Structure 1
């Protein structure tokens, strides 16, 4: 009995020591991991999320930070100011609008299903979601602040002190803890309950028009918009009108490779009904306008995607096919997601 008791004490000591060395092990035993509503066979988590699993208070802290306007220099906007839930956490501006009405470089991307993404931002500049929140905080056209300024503003907030202790074991606010918490909240933003999903689960059926649209989609769109997220997460130049801002170069801004010039990450089509305008800087006001452009012919480019090159720089679509495609894409709308 004595040996067993000594062994138990030793195990406890080792456990506590491990907790003090690894912030991924949260001290509060009443901070359970959240059970996320992911359909079976959906997609695997990305590797960073596996090390930063959303917890009850971690996600709560992240949401509080996400909606806090003190993250901006003049306390006028929060992350939620641009990432609006009713718009699938995007907005309806061609380009993002920051403090003092400053106009950003690109359209605000929706932030759904980030748990499964391999990279973030239109150009894939961030490979881990935990490294992304600093970008809008310090960008001149967005929040124009600094993480140290943010910490100074919220350090005396009792609500934050309570949550940081519940999540991390003490009240200390650090940049890394802020980023992890925001990422945890964003990991919970899962959209997988559209009509399309229910059709695949044999709970509903497509209309004749939607079914035809799905057929057209599998013939002419699925090479890029594949998988459960309706994106293969690749970067492609598809000949869209070019942003006149000279700071823009697409993926080439990250890689420095001219072969990536004006290539952008293929967007997910989930909830596309709610995220107009479309394109990296809101080039198209509607899905019909976007499909018309693709049918009429896209811009020539040396690195134009092969699908367009093989079809005369266009995706040939009849008016009936366009109508059907739009009908199908609307089946990807998740009403519960935008109103949860």
Structure 2
């Protein structure tokens, strides 16, 4: 990563010329105020076609090894290309994108400074975008301050912390600080899970569509909970609009299925959390919010 590479990537991220009709940029579906996601269940591409999965957050993605809900690519450089080429998203090709960018003297200067040459290529575009996205690091939440000893949880947050991190909640198995490298989601060997959203899954649904392994049916990438207060709606299909709905879903225990995660121990039975306990979980998850990140002008449009 270089300063000039990040600068170039930032310009590209907010440039609508990366879409077929010059109407959408990466930022169209990845808004800073929503943790670089968007407040809709599904995105709509330049041709008015809706997607079928929720736009994933981009914060702290530098530590990820699989991308998209089913993990179909394994590098950020490949990930940033996908929406540009996808016919239901930005729907274009790199030959057209390059032709448009070559007409702008600003980009010739930016590519020269980033790469030592005015030449614009698909790989150079992807490399620059990936560099910018890797700078989207959130690490100044109340929870982070608690970890270093500069914040004390409120009574309600402490209730949520305790439930989150013990067998009463079992949240920590997938979202715990220690198990996730403080990313509160997919990390290391723990990447995909069936959290009991549905009892019936189609062949090829979730990770199985990539791996071809039936045991992966209905498993999706575990999302980070950093800034979860602002990254609604929730789940791979955006079915829940509020954290209260998410907590109530887990309180019911989820739906049993052949591939359900073994840590969904209350599936079909329920957790029976009290009103106070459910509110505590919500309040604790809000300690993952990092307002300084969501308002940092280093990540806003340079245009």
Q: TM-score, normalised by structure 1?
A: 0.80
Query: Quick check: 1:275 aligned with 2:231?
Result: yes
Query: Quick check: 1:158 aligned with 2:105?
Result: yes
Give yes or no for contact 1:114–1:187 (8 Å, CA) kept in 2.
yes
Query: 2: distance between equivalents of 1:102 and 1:85?
Result: 23
Query: Quick check: 1:71 aligned with 2:18?
Result: yes
Alpha-carbon shift at residue 314 of structure 1 (Å): 5.6
Alpha-carbon shift at residue 243 of structure 1 (Å): 10
Structure 1 segments unaligned to the other structure (5+ residues): 1-52
Give yes or no for contact 1:105–1:281 (8 Å, CA) kept in 2.
yes
Show the counterpart of 1:260.
216
Give yes or no for contact 2:8–2:110 (8 Å, CA) kept in 1.
yes
Alpha-carbon shift at residue 101 of structure 1 (Å): 2.6
Show the counterpart of 2:195.
238
Query: Quick check: 1:307 aligned with 2:254?
Result: no
1:247/1:143 Cα in 2 relative to 1: closer, same or farther (>3 Å)? farther
Query: 1: distance between equivalents of 2:94 and 2:107?
Result: 15
Query: 2: distance between equivalents of 1:200 and 1:60?
Result: 32
Please point out which of 92, 97, 109 is paired with 2:56: 109
Show the counterpart of 1:127.
74
1:315/1:71 Cα in 2 relative to 1: closer, same or farther (>3 Å)? farther
1:248/1:281 Cα in 2 relative to 1: closer, same or farther (>3 Å)? farther
Give yes or no for contact 2:84–2:91 (8 Å, CA) kept in 1.
yes
Alpha-carbon shift at residue 80 of structure 1 (Å): 0.3
Show the counterpart of 2:162.
215
Show the counterpart of 1:22.
none
Query: 1: distance between equivalents of 2:204 and 2:16?
Result: 28
Query: 2: distance between equivalents of 1:325 and 1:155?
Result: 51
Give the aligned CA root-mean-square deviation in angstroms. Answer: 1.8
Alpha-carbon shift at residue 155 of structure 1 (Å): 1.1
Give yes or no for contact 2:199–2:256 (8 Å, CA) kept in 1.
no
Give yes or no for contact 1:237–1:263 (8 Å, CA) kept in 2.
yes
Larger relative contact order (Cα-Cα within 8 Å, sequence gap ≥ 6): 2
Show the counterpart of 1:191.
138
Instruction: Give structure 1 regions of 4+ aligned residues with deviation exceeding 3 angstroms.
Output: 241-244, 312-315
